[in-house]
Structure formats: structure tokens, C-alpha cells
Structure 1
Amino acid sequence: MTEPLLPREVSRAFDAFPLPIRRRLLDVRKLIFATAKAHDDDVGPLTETLKWGEPAYLTDATGSGSTIRLGPLKHSDYAAILFNCRTTLVETFRERFPDQFKYRQTRALLLNVSGKLPKQPLSVCLSLALTYHLDRRWKR
């Protein structure tokens, strides 16, 4: 299955990004949908919308995950995958992949816009985000 067509308002948000960042984040979008599909029983369909004017991916149907938001890192050439700063997601990514990505505090995983997308480690990170609340429910 390929990712769904971009909703009009989300497409406009992507179009506002500088071209190299847009291309990188559209690749991340594909990976988000592929990762969600791989965990379909737990994650269910994704809601694609805007949060703070940026593309965001939510697990509204199941409540399994934490919101994933895509955008440029201000004043830089990095593409950012943003997460709720009240989660332990970025901390977990740092522990698992200390040298694979750059990070911004507890909020973002940063990607270079050139070179090959690190699909395998990134899909692990996206999987953790899309199932974040499931993992926490089992630990209670």
C-alpha cells in the first residue's frame, strides 16, 4: 500500500518548506505510513492534519501513539521530526541511536536533507512513537 493522497491543507504546508526539506520530509511521511501499516492491528488508520501549521500524524482511531509532526528546524538546513516534549520518546531515541541522528532537547529528531534516509533506525523511532501509549498501558 502506498501512502494516501495529501490533504489540500497539508500539501500547502509541505509546499511552504524549502525544497530540500520538503523532499526529505515527504520521504519521512512515506515511512510514517509504511510503519503504521506494519503495525496496523495496534495503530489503525492515521489522521493527517496540521498542528501549529505543520503536517502532523495522529492515531486518533486507536489512541495508540503520540503525535508526530514534521517541519523545518528554524534557522538551519535540518528537517525536524517533532514529538511531544512530555514523552520519553526523544530520550529513548538518543539511547538507542546516539550517533545516528541529531536531536533538539526532548522535542525533535533532526535529519540532514542530503544523503540517504536512515530508514531502518528511523522506522524504529516512528514505531515507538506510533505505539507510545500502548507500551505505557502494558507497564501499568
Structure 2
Amino acid sequence: MMNMTPPDFLARIETWPQPAQTQFVKLRQIVHDVATSAEIGPLDESLKWGQPSWRPKRARVGSTLRVDWSPSTPDRLLAFVDCKTNLAAQMDTRFPGQFHNDGRRALGFDLDKPLDEDAVWQLVHLTLTYHRAKRAA
């Protein structure tokens, strides 16, 4: 289900240190696996605010998930959800203490630990199906 990736998307990741790139590759695969298994449809894979991001191409299915690495937090890869959602709070409830979670929009993954694929899967699923799940509730 991976679509053509914009060159600037890949160029951005190449500027990151190797541990961040390695975590990102795993996270990106989970994003595309979730999109397939949850029948989300094609994803828009692009840079938003200079950060790699994914969003379902179909309207009103899910929210945007962005990921970034920054020299200001060099030991973490950060995932960002829409601050107008309760997604970060949901992840804190489901996985207390698992992430560096600001409870609003940012969740940090330590680069010196294995990526918790179950937690990331749930974060991605909750985010990419956010609007669809709200309509079903």
C-alpha cells in the first residue's frame, strides 16, 4: 500500500542520526501495515511542517500522524498527533509511562530501547482511524 514517496520526505530522514532512522523505518512499516489491515485506504505520505507525516487520503477517516527527530531531544523520536484530539491522552491511559507523553500532542520513543511495536501499532491505528471511530461511537 506504500505510494510514491516524495523525495523531500526521504531527504529529511537522511539528515537524522542512524538510531533515529532505524526506529523510523520500523515505525513507517507499522503505519503502512495498519493502513492495510484496518482498510484505511491509500495514505498521503508527505512533509507537514517539515516533518514526515501520514494521513488517509479519504476524507473523514483519520487524523494526521507526524514523526520527527530533533537535536533538542537527540535521544528520542517524537510522534505528534492533532492537539484537538484526545489521542495522546488515550495513549497515556493505555500505556502509562511507556512514552514521554505531554498528554496533548507529543509522544517520545527512546532511541536506546527497542520500539514497542504493540504500543506504536495502537497509536497509529487510533490516529489513522480517529474520525471513523468517532462516527461509529
Query: 3-state DSSP class of the match of 1:99?
Result: coil
TM-score (norm 1): 0.88
Say which SS state the counterpart of residue 47 (structure 1) adopts: strand
Task: Tell me by how many angstroms 1:74 deviates.
Answer: 5.0
Which of 58, 61, 65 aligns to 1:64? It is: 61
Give 1 or 2: higher strand fraction.
Answer: 2
Partner residue of 1:14? 13
Deviations 1:34-92 (A, max 9, x none): 1111111xx11111011011111011224311100010145111100111111100000
Mapped partners of 2:88, 2:78: distance in 1: 12
Equivalent residue, structure 2, for 1:91: 89
Whole-Å separation in 2 of the counterparts to 1:92 and 1:60: 24
Structure 1 residue aligned with 2:76 = 78
1:17 partner amino acid: W
- Alignment: residue pair count: 136
User: What is the match of residue 55 of structure 1?
Assistant: 52
Note the C-alpha offset of 1:96.
0.6
Residues 62 and 130, structure 2, Cα contact 8 Å, conserved in 1: yes
CA contact 2:81–2:106 (8 Å) conserved in 1: yes
Q: RMSD in angstroms over aligned alpha carbons?
A: 1.7
For residues 107 and 38 of structure 1, the distance between their equivalents in structure 2, rounded to whole angstroms, comes to 25
Percent of counterpart pairs with the same letter? 28
The one-letter code of the counterpart of 1:46 is L
TM-score where L is the length of structure 2: 0.90
Q: Deviation of residue 13 (structure 1)?
A: 1.1
SS at match of 2:120: helix
